[in-house]
Amino acid sequence: MPLLKEGKISDDPWVHWWDGDPEPEFGPVIVTLRRWREDRDHLLERGCPLGIQLTSEQTPGEIRDDLQYFELVALDFPVFTDGRSYSNAKRLRQRFNYKGQVRATGNILRDQYLNMLRCGFDALEVKDGETEKDWQTATQAISTPFQPGLEGQPTAMSLRQRRMAGR
């Protein structure tokens, strides 16, 4: 599956190693929380870059003591209306000061892209055939956000309150 990172579509060097799948021979892998808990020592001994996939029910607090081992945390959107992964991305960045890649996976719509960036995601797994332009257009559709983001851009409500207060 292609990857959108820094606004560019690229090949993804990471392989999802799902529960029940055979072990990839070598290279960066993204594992489930279950596999991490069951095979932690083996995964660390592999000597390859390691990422973890969290479902929307799993929180970064469950891996907070192990974050230093992961170059990537993938957060799943099982349906586009499930927003828990937004909160988990912000938690990773703000509460746990995570500096690695935070990736969105699953059912992602282009309308959500700008908000994902504002919450701390820096990569998305996208469908084959989607272009950079499709995704870049989504970041320009809204000039003033409604929710606060990590970058500190003023929200529509804060701008409205300033205007009403005569500032």
Residue 129, sorted as left (phi over 0), alpha (psi -120 to 50) or beta, turns out to be left
Q: How far is CA 31 from CA 63, 95, 129, in A?
A: 13, 23, 26
Q: Quick one: what percent of the chain has pLDDT higher than 70? A: 86
Angle at 149 between CA 144 and CA 151, to 5 degrees: 90
Least confident range from 1-5, 35-39, 82-86, 91-95: namely 1-5
The tally of CA atoms less than 13 A away on the side-chain side of residue 32 is 12
Sort 149 into a burial class: Cβ within 10 Å, 0-12 / 13-18 / 19+: middle
Residue 45: its pLDDT value, please? Answer: 95
- CB of 15 closer than 8 Å to CB of 27: yes
Tokens of 114: 């700008």
Q: Quick one: what percent of the chain has pLDDT higher than 90? A: 57
pLDDT at 37 over 90: yes
Residue 159: its pLDDT value, please? Answer: 62
75-124 per-position pLDDT tens digit: 999 998 888 999 999 999 999 999 999 999 999 888 888 888 889 999 99
pLDDT band at 60 (very low <50, low <70, confident <90, very high): very high
pLDDT at 152 over 70: no
Write down all domains in the chain, each with its CATH number in brackets: 3-164 (3.20.20.70)
**What value does the mean pLDDT take over residues 138-156?**
63
This prediction has a pTM of 0.82
